[in-house]
């Protein structure tokens, strides 16, 4: 028996929007820790890892570990039927092949339930060890989204370089080149507007902009984004989900031949 | 010239 009640139902809609461009089908894993997911895109270049901790739910009952295979577009179709202020409850019984999403309006005058068929998905979990990163950049998520969008109109790949001067995003294409440098800036009115660079040593890596643009679909989930870089490791782009957990994206770098 | 790396080159399957 599984029953997860999330007062801030719109958060689940945002989480789905943040993943479904990258991944079609995924197994949601439910345990005492929380509601989580790890899935790769079809080309195994990018990976998304989601954790919504059990403490973040108003009610969280998960009698035994359960893995539920869902088509994210179908799930999104159902969640779009929930109002933005609705409370969403996810329910599943042991041994059934469906999941129920229950939507309650804030004043309880409308209650809807949508039952979705589950699917069997062969998921390949990768072990992601904790690593020391050479550079960690924290910046406003809207700024990162703007940079990725702007650069993708010029080129297909971005070189992200961190030095003590700041973080530089560079691209090149048929029509020309572009460089955007963001310097560390802690003197802002609000902490979420700061750009903070923690650098152990300079690092420079190349990534496909198409994937980074997909990651920025998580922008509505968090005011800030953290980009962790190390040579010869996938970049980690993390959006913290307040009170709940995180959505992290891993992207393998382009390798020089 | 550069080629796109894959995640399995960095992380092992569990």
Mean pLDDT of A42-49: 97
Query: Which pair of tokens denotes residue A118?
Result: 């589950």
Closest CB from A46, A128, A256 relative to B2: A256
Between the alpha carbon of residue A92 and those of residues A61, A89, A97, A215, the distances in Å are: 10, 10, 9, 29
Reply yes or no on whether the pLDDT at B2 is more than 90: no
Taking CB atoms and an 8 Å limit, are B8 and A126 in contact across chains? Answer: yes
- Report pLDDT for B14: 87
Nearest-Cα residue of chain B relative to residue A206: B2
* Residue B10, min C-alpha distance to chain A (Å): 6
Q: Give CA–CA dist A81/A76, Å, rounded.
A: 9
- HSE toward the beta carbon, residue A189, CA cutoff 13 A: 0
Write the DSSP string, A27-87. Answer: EEEE-SSEEEEEEE-TTSSEEEEEEEEGGGSSEEEESS-EEEEEEHHHHHHHHTTS-TT-E
- Report pLDDT for A55: 97
Average pLDDT, chain A: 96
* Residue A91, min C-alpha distance to chain B (Å): 28
- Report pLDDT for A95: 81
Q: Give CA–CA dist A87/B3, Å, rounded.
A: 45
Cβ neighbours of A48 in B, within 8 Å: none
- Per-residue pLDDT tens digits for A113-155: 999 999 999 888 999 999 999 999 999 999 999 999 999 999 9
Closest CB from B5, B9, B14 relative to A127: B14
Burial class (CB in 10 A: 0-12, 13-18, 19+), A129: exposed
Taking CB atoms and an 8 Å limit, are A255 and B13 in contact across chains? Answer: no
Closest CB from B4, B8, B13 relative to A208: B4
Q: Which residues pair with A205 in a beta bridge?
A: A160
ipTM of the complex: 0.96
Q: Taking the CA atoms of chain A, what radius of gyration do you get in angstroms?
A: 20
Cβ neighbours of B2 in A, within 8 Å: 157, 206, 254-257
Q: Tell me which H or E stretch contains A98.
A: strand A98-104
- Per-residue pLDDT tens digits for A205-231: 999 999 999 999 999 999 999 999 999
Taking CB atoms and an 8 Å limit, are A254 and B13 in contact across chains? Answer: no
3 state DSSP class of A193: helix
Taking CB atoms and an 8 Å limit, are A126 and B7 in contact across chains? Answer: yes
DSSP 8-state class, residue A109: S
* Residue B9, min C-alpha distance to chain A (Å): 9
């Amino acid at each position: 028996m599984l029953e997860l009640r999330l007062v801030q139902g719109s958060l689940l809609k945002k989480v789905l929007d943040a993943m479904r461009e990258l991944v079609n089908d995924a197994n949601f894993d439910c345990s005492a820790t929380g509601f989580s997911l790890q899935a790769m895109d079809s080309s195994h270049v990018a990976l998304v890892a989601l954790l919504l901790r059990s403490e973040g739910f108003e009610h969280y009952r998960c009698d035994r570990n359960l893995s539920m295979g869902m088509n994210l577009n179908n799930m999104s179709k159902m969640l779009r039927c929930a109002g933005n202020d609705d409370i969403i409850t996810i329910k599943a019984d042991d041994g059934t092949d469906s999941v129920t999403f229950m939507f309650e309006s804030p004043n309880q005058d409308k209650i809807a339930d949508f039952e979705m068929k589950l699917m069997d998905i062969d998921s390949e979990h990768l072990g992601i060890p904790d690593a020391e990163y050479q550079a960690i950049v924290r910046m406003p998520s809207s700024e990162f989204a703007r940079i990725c969008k702007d650069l993708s109109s010029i080129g297909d790949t971005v070189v992200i370089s961190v030095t003590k001067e700041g973080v530089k995003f560079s691209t090149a294409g048929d029509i020309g080149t572009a460089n955007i440098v963001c310097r560390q800036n802690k003197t802002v009115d609000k902490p979420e507007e700061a750009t903070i660079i923690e650098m152990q040593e300079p690092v420079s890596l190349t990534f496909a902009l198409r994937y980074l643009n997909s990651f920025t679909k998580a922008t509505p989930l968090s005011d800030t984004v953290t980009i962790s870089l190390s040579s010869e490791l996938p970049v980690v782009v993390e959006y913290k989900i307040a009170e709940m957990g995180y959505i992290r994206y891993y992207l393998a770098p382009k390798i020089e031949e | 010239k550069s080629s796109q790396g894959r995640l399995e080159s960095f992380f092992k399957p569990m």
